[in-house]
């Protein structure tokens, strides 16, 4: 089978198409508009039913584009009809076929230092793995996922107290700045990806269950990811905030608010019992009254 010949972007594109759907793709769009780039079309995912009323609502990118007075479509093929010099893709959410890539040159903001963490959940995987640093790449879009050559990248340290929200927010800002700066100065010759390849599959609910036999530092990262949970007396208990502590008990044992882990301990700070609102861990302890016989995870 013949490899498709993909369209190549000009060094200084003037007319831009923008493809994106969720919240993470809003700031790069706004940054392009603030910088004075001409956005000839925004392509976003279709309206979806959201909330209790089930009313149709636009995607975050579509809502932002309408606010900015931009032309919006939910049909990918419309990008072929606007004579765009370049399409910028940020979390669009759909595979772009070769038939379009052969006509419209496209670049993508990816939230990792490629080739590490190719795939759908690069920020989550970097945080969960305990990586010392991560970043954003501005890259070509190829037929295979996240394999394109890289035009530019920016790096940030992952702080010991970074949550998924704080890290993602920082990367979004970095990505928007990198995009504008690179397009303003002119796209350089991209470099092939080099280094060890890893893949960032989506985080499953099973992965979010806390295994108290793991080291406290590992569990702390899981909690900072968001959505971590355990069992207490057979019902689910979400763990929203913890603090590293000392403990030498059996994994899952509770002493006050400190839970023993495989190595060290974690002090519970904010939890959420099943069917209830988030609450300070002291309030939960006063109501649940965990005893020395209780084990989290059971």
pLDDT at 143: 84
| Same-domain status, 51 and 161 | yes
Residue 4 in any domain: the answer is no
| Same-domain status, 37 and 172 | yes
Which of 136, 168, 185 terminates a domain? The answer is: 185
Tell me the whole-structure pTM to 2 decimals.
0.94
Evaluate if residue 1 carries a pLDDT over 70: no
Per-residue pLDDT averaged across 169-178, rounded?
A: 99
Which of 143, 165, 185 terminates a domain? The answer is: 185
pLDDT at 292: 86
Evaluate if residue 204 carries a pLDDT over 60: yes
204/172 Cα distance (integer angstroms):
23
Per-residue pLDDT averaged across 8-36, rounded?
A: 97
pLDDT at 50: 75
Residue 203 in any domain: the answer is no
Residue 29 in any domain: the answer is yes
Residue 298 in any domain: the answer is no
- The CATH number of residue 56's host domain is 3.40.50.170
pLDDT digits (tens, 9 = 90+) for 118-158: 999 999 999 999 999 999 999 999 888 899 999 999 999 99
- Strand stretches in 169-249, DSSP E: 229-232, 235-245
156 by Cβ neighbours in 10 Å (0-12 / 13-18 / 19+) ranks as middle
| Same-domain status, 171 and 123 | yes
DSSP string, 80-102: GGTT-SEEEEES--SPPPHHHHT
Under 8 Å CB-to-CB from 273, ≥6 apart: which residues?
232, 235, 237, 238, 279, 284, 288
| Same-domain status, 19 and 128 | yes
Segment among 16-25, 58-67, 92-101 with least mean pLDDT:
92-101
Evaluate if residue 54 carries a pLDDT over 80: no
Tally DSSP H helices, then E strands, for the chain.
7, 15
Phi and psi, residue 234, nearest 5°: 85, 0
pLDDT at 266: 98
Evaluate whether 238 touches 229 at the Cβ level (below 8 Å): yes
| Same-domain status, 80 and 158 | yes
- The CATH number of residue 254's host domain is 3.10.25.10
Residue 204 in any domain: the answer is no
Residue 202 in any domain: the answer is no
- pLDDT tier at 3 (50, 70, 90 boundaries)? confident
| Same-domain status, 181 and 135 | yes
Average pLDDT, the chain: 96
Per-residue pLDDT averaged across 8-21, rounded?
A: 96
Domain limits at 49? 15-185
Residue 179 in any domain: the answer is yes
Which of 168, 185, 202 terminates a domain? The answer is: 185
Evaluate if residue 200 carries a pLDDT over 60: yes
């Amino acid at each position: 089978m013949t490899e498709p010949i993909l369209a190549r972007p000009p060094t200084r594109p003037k007319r831009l198409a923008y493809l994106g759907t969720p919240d993470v793709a809003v700031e790069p769009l706004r940054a392009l508009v603030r910088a004075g780039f001409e956005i000839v079309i925004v392509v976003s995912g279709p309206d979806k039913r959201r909330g209790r009323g089930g009313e149709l609502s636009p995607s975050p990118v579509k809502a932002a584009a309408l606010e900015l007075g931009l032309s919006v479509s939910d049909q990918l093929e419309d990008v072929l009809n606007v004579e765009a010099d370049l399409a910028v893709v940020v979390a669009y959410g759909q595979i772009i076929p070769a038939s379009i890539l052969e006509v419209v040159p496209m670049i993508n903001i990816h939230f990792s230092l490629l080739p590490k963490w190719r795939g759908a959940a690069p920020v989550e995987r970097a945080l969960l793995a305990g990586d010392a640093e991560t970043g954003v790449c501005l890259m070509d879009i190829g037929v295979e996922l996240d394999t394109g050559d890289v035009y530019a990248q920016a790096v940030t340290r992952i702080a010991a107290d970074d949550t998924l929200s704080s890290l993602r927010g920082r990367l979004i800002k970095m990505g928007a700045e990198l995009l504008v700066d690179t397009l303003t100065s002119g796209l350089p010759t991209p470099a092939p990806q080099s280094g060890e390849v890893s893949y960032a599959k989506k985080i499953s609910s099973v992965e979010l269950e806390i295994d108290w036999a793991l080291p406290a530092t590992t569990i702390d990262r899981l909690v900072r990811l968001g959505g971590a949970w355990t069992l207490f007396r057979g019902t689910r208990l979400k763990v929203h905030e913890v603090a590293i502590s000392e403990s030498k008990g059996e994994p899952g044992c509770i002493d006050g608010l400190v839970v023993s882990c495989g190595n060290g301990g974690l002090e519970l700070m904010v939890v959420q019992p099943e069917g209830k609102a988030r609450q300070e861990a002291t309030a939960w302890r006063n109501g649940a009254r965990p005893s020395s016989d209780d084990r989290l995870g059971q």
